[in-house]
Amino acid sequence: QEFRSYTGENNNKEKPMQGSIYTPFIRLAKPSKFNANGHPNITNLPSRAVSNFIFDQQQRIGSKEHLTDFFNMFGQFLIHNMALSKPETNLWPIVVPKCDQYFDPSCTGNKTMNYFRTRLTQVQCDDGITETDEDGKCYEQINSLGAYIDANVLYGNSEEICKNLRSLSGGEMKNVPGVPMDNDANLFPIDQLYSVGERRGNENPGLLVIHTLFLREHNRLARKFAKAHSDWDDEKIFQHSRSCIIEQVQKITYEEYLPVILGSVPHYTGYNPKVNAQVSNEFTSTAFRFGHSEVGPSLEYYSENGTRLQPLPIKFSYFNPHALNQGIEPIVRGFYLNEEENIDIYMISDLRNFLFGKPGQGGLDLASRNLQRNRDHGIPSYNSLRKQIGLRPVSTWADISTDKVIQERLKKTYKSIDDIDAYVGGLAEDHMEGSCVGQTFYFIIQEQFFRTRAGDRFWYELPEIKLLNRECESTTFLK
Which positions touch ligand HEM (CB under 6 A)?
72, 75-76, 79, 83-85, 203-204, 284, 288-289, 291-292, 295, 314, 366, 369-370, 373
Q: Is 80 a catalytic residue?
A: yes
Q: How far apart are CA 445 and CA 437, in angstroms?
A: 10
Q: Shortest gap between Cβ of 134 and ligand HEM (angstroms)? A: 24
Nearer Cβ to ligand HEM (318/382): 318
| Closer Cβ to ligand HEM, 130 or 204, answer by number | 204
3-state secondary structure at position 3: coil
Distance from chain centroid for Cα 1: 31
DSSP secondary structure, 142-192, as one string: EESS--S-S-HHHH-SSHHHHHHHB-SSTT-B---S-S----TT-SS-GGG
* Nearest alpha-carbon partner for 32 in 383, 377, 449: 377
Query: What end-to-end distance do the CA atoms of the chain give, in Å?
Result: 29
| Cα separation values, 91 from 22, 49, 86, 328, 379, Å | 21, 19, 13, 38, 19
Task: Quote the CA–CA distance of 80 and 59 in Å, as a whole number.
Answer: 29
Minimum distance of ligand HEM from residue 174's CB (angstroms): 25
3-state secondary structure of 244: helix
218 annotated as a binding-site residue: no
CA distance 202 to 223: 27
Measured from each CB, the residue nearest to ligand HEM is 291
Q: Which of 206, 214, 204, 155 is nearest to 184 (CA)?
A: 204
Residue 369 CB, shortest distance to ligand HEM, in Å, is: 4
| 264: three-class secondary structure by DSSP | coil
Q: How many CA atoms lie within 13 A of 197 on its CB side?
A: 29
Beta strands (DSSP E) in 206-319 are 298-299, 312-313
Closer Cβ to ligand HEM, 281 or 401, answer by number: 281
Of the two residues 366 and 400, which places its CB atom closer to ligand HEM in the complex? 366
Residue nearer to ligand HEM on the CB measure, 244 or 252: 252
Helix (H) or strand (E) run with residue 116 in it? strand 116-118
- 57/204 with CB nearer ligand HEM: 204
- For 139, phi then psi, to 5°, come to -130, 160
Query: Which of 39, 66, 80, 431 does the annotation list as catalytic?
Result: 80
Nearest to 39 by CA among 93, 110, 85, 112: 93
To the nearest whole angstrom, how small is the minimum distance from the Cβ of residue 87 to ligand HEM?
Answer: 7
Q: Which residues carry out catalysis?
A: 80
Binding site as annotated, residues: 292
Binding site as annotated, residues for heme b: 292
